[in-house]
């Protein structure tokens, strides 16, 4: 070994600024296994306590990007732009956003992750569609992006493999919440996807990993500055996660919600606002609109004229799903055997949510995972979640619980009742888009 990992750990432990070459050598050792798990854990802990400069974070991100394959898209004649969310509850934005952006003329090769803890994963949602190939080979991935303008798939082992090992060690050593490490983890995968630009949705609130505005804005600034420093134009919106974004939380139930959204059958107001705002950021970043107003108009028009829905259906069929998925999603998506209302139990108003607890109610049903290797039940979840401010009577359903067993139903109902806060007076309205960076 031509370098001593313990000296790099020591330098960071003592608050020094690491040379990019030393960071690259450490990440190479992490990738090929020549750096031990204990050394990686110590390195992560040193960064957790001492932080990283922007220059160091850029070097870490680029080294992790270069640990595997870096895609390029020379065959496409349209701008390649993607979006990433830091995760929340009822956040199925990607399912509508990718086909909206594609219908407007962007290419969106969306490489997504699975859910962990209380947050849902886009990949788990897509896999609730029968036949959908979430892990296609490179040829099929490229074919579907070219034909549909978008493809929502999972991360292959060839893209930023250093991140997979690094995250696994961080997950068991209490070093996940470091802003530079979160930044490098997110951006290394997006840079490896060969994007021309990136738009970020940084969630803020009691259902997000960043639970207050200061932390959310710190992460948004870090992501934008490091991405730009690594050569990728990037903007970020900070959005509210103090209540579920969609009225559904789960896997098949969120896909059904997205299908209704795309076809115009039902659109949750806050979900619509966030989806269109992110679409506008993508169009401006990709050079297809000169300002947000023009971009919003274009995004709304492809949603309303059905072309976004057509792109989604083409993507689903191209990746092995039903060719008529959007014409009858209820026929194709698995339904839970028990569907029961959770009643308000008193008169008043929905005053707020413990959004994390809503996510945990889905986990209690079997629709989420505690460990990465856990299976998920795609059919279960909650629907009909009422927006904050909704007046309720004693017998008003605050949500419908979709369960596999009676035991899971009772656990989920307990979690959900704890999660919904009722009051005698109507709460003040809150904004869903809290800020912008970049």
| Radius of gyration over every alpha carbon of the chain, rounded to an integer in angstroms | 22
The catalytic residue among 22, 82, 91, 124 is 82
Report yes or no on whether pTM surpasses 0.75: yes
At 8 the pLDDT is 97
Q: How far is CA 275 from CA 253, 304, 371, 432, in A?
A: 18, 14, 29, 11
- Whether 170 sits among the annotated catalytic residues: the reply is yes
Across the range 418-431, mean pLDDT stands at: 95
Question: Of 94, 122, 128, 188, which one is the catalytic site residue?
Answer: 122
Residue 313: predicted pLDDT: 97
Span 126-174, pLDDT tens digits: 999 999 999 999 999 999 999 999 999 987 778 899 998 998 899 889 8
Query: Is a pLDDT exceeding 50 seen at residue 1?
Result: no
Catalytic-labelled residue, pool 12, 65, 78, 84: 84
The confidence score (pLDDT) of residue 115 equals 64
Reduced to 3 states, what is the DSSP secondary structure of residue 380? coil
Task: Give the H or E element holding residue 223.
Answer: helix 213-229
Active site residue 189: yes
Q: Which domains does the chain have, with CATH numbers?
A: 5-51 (1.20.970.10), 81-329 (3.40.1030.10), 335-423 (3.90.1170.30)
pLDDT digits (tens, 9 = 90+) for 20-73: 999 999 999 999 999 999 999 999 999 999 999 999 999 999 999 999 999 999
Torsion of CA 172, 175, 177, 178, to 10 degrees: -150
CA distance 210 to 90: 16
Residue 405 burial by Cβ neighbours in a 10 Å radius (0-12, 13-18, 19+) = middle
185 has catalytic annotation: yes
What average pLDDT does the structure give for the chain? 94
Query: Catalytic annotation on 112?
Result: no
pLDDT in the model for residue 177: 85
Continuous segment of H or E residues that includes residue 25: helix 20-32
List 190, 270, 298, 402, catalytic entry? 190
Burial 315-348 (b: 16+ CB within 10 A, else e): bbbbbebbeebbeebeebbeebeeebebbbeeeb
User: Which residue among the candidates 31, 61, 63, 85 is catalytic per the annotation?
Assistant: 85
Sheet of strand 348-353, all strands in order from the earlier edge strand to the far edge: 391-392, 348-353, 420-423
Catalytic residue among 31, 94, 178, 185: 185
**Rounded Cα gap, residues 104 and 80, in angstroms:** 12
Sequence-ordered alpha helix ranges (H) in 172-212:
179-192
| Integer Cα distance of 55 and 41 in angstroms | 22
Q: What pLDDT, on the 0 to 100 scale, is given for residue 158? A: 87
Identify the pLDDT of residue 222. 97
Task: Provide, rounded to the nearest whole percent, the portion of the chain with pLDDT above 70.
Answer: 97
CA 174 to chain centroid: 21
Determine the Cα–Cα distance for residues 289 and 230; give it in Å rounded to an integer: 24
Is pLDDT above 90 for 396?
yes
From the candidates 12, 118, 189, 332, give the one annotated as an active-site residue.
189
Q: How far apart are CA 361 and CA 375, in angstroms?
A: 16
pLDDT attached to residue 247 = 98
Range 380-386 average pLDDT? 98
Beta carbons of 376 and 124 less than 8 angstroms apart: yes
Query: Of all helices (H) and strands (E), which one includes residue 152?
Result: strand 150-154
Encoding tokens for residue 359? 């996510």
pLDDT tens digit sequence for 200-257? 999 999 999 889 999 999 999 999 999 999 999 999 999 999 999 999 999 999 999 9
| Residue 369 confidence (pLDDT) above 80 | no
Q: CB of 404 within 8 A of CB of 380?
A: yes
436 is annotated as an active-site residue: no
β-bridge pairing 420-423 and 108-112: unpaired
Q: Is 330 a catalytic residue?
A: no
Nearest-5° Cα angle at 168, 55 to 2: 55
Residue of 12, 65, 83, 114 marked active site: 83
pLDDT over 70 (residue 281): yes
Decide the pairing of beta strands 249-250 and 338-343: unpaired
Q: Which neighbouring-strand residues pair with 250?
A: 381
- The answer to whether the beta carbons of residues 9 and 39 sit under 8 Å apart is yes
- Of 12, 114, 170, 221, the catalytic one is 170
Phi, psi of 416 (to 5 degrees): -70, -40
pLDDT at 96 over 50: yes
Contact yes or no for 431/238 (Cβ under 8 A): no
């Amino acid at each position: 070994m031509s370098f001593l990992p313990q000296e790099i750990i020591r330098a960071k432990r003592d608050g020094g600024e690491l040379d990019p070459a030393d960071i690259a050598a450490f990440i190479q050792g992490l990738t090929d296994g020549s750096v031990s798990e204990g050394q990686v854990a110590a390195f992560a802990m040193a960064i957790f306590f001492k932080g990283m400069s922007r220059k160091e974070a850029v070097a870490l991100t680029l080294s992790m990007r270069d640990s595997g394959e870096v895609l390029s898209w020379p065959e496409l004649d349209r701008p390649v732009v993607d979006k990433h969310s830091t995760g929340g509850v009822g956040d199925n934005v990607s399912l509508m956003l990718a086909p909206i952006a594609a219908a407007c003329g962007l290419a969106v090769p969306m490489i997504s992750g699975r859910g962990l803890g209380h947050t849902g994963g886009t990949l788990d949602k897509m896999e609730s569609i029968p036949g959908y190939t979430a892990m296609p080979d490179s040829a099929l991935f490229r074919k579907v992006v070219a034909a549909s303008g978008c493809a929502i798939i999972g991360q292959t082992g060839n893209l930023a493999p250093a991140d997979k090992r690094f995250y696994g060690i961080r997950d068991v050593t209490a070093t996940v919440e470091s802003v530079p490490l979160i930044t490098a983890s997110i951006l290394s995968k997006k840079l490896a996807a060969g994007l021309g630009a990136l738009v970020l949705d940084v969630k803020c609130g009691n259902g997000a990993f960043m639970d207050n505005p200061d932390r959310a804005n710190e992460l948004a600034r870090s992501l934008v500055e490091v991405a730009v420093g690594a050569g990728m134009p990037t903007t970020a919106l900070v959005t509210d996660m103090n209540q579920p974004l969609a009225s559904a939380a789960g896997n098949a139930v969120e896909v059904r919600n997205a299908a209704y959204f795309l076809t115009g059958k039902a659109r949750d107001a806050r979900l619509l606002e966030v989806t269109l705002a992110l679409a506008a950021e993508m169009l401006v970043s990709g050079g297809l609109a000169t300002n947000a107003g023009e971009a919003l108009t274009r995004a709304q028009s492809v949603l309303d004229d059905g072309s976004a829905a057509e792109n989604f259906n083409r993507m689903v069929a191209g990746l092995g799903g039903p060719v008529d998925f959007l014409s009858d999603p209820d026929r194709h998506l698995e339904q839970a055997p028990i569907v029961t209302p959770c009643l308000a139990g008193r008169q008043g108003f929905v005053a707020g949510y413990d959004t994390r607890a809503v996510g945990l109610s889905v986990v209690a049903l079997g629709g989420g995972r505690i460990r990465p290797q856990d299976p998920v039940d795609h059919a279960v979840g909650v629907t009909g979640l009422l927006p904050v401010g909704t007046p309720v009577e004693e017998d008003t359903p605050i949500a419908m619980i979709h369960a596999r067993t009676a035991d899971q139903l009772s656990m989920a109902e307990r979690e959900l009742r704890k999660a919904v806060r009722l009051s005698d007076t109507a709460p003040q309205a809150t904004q869903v888009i809290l800020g912008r960076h970049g």
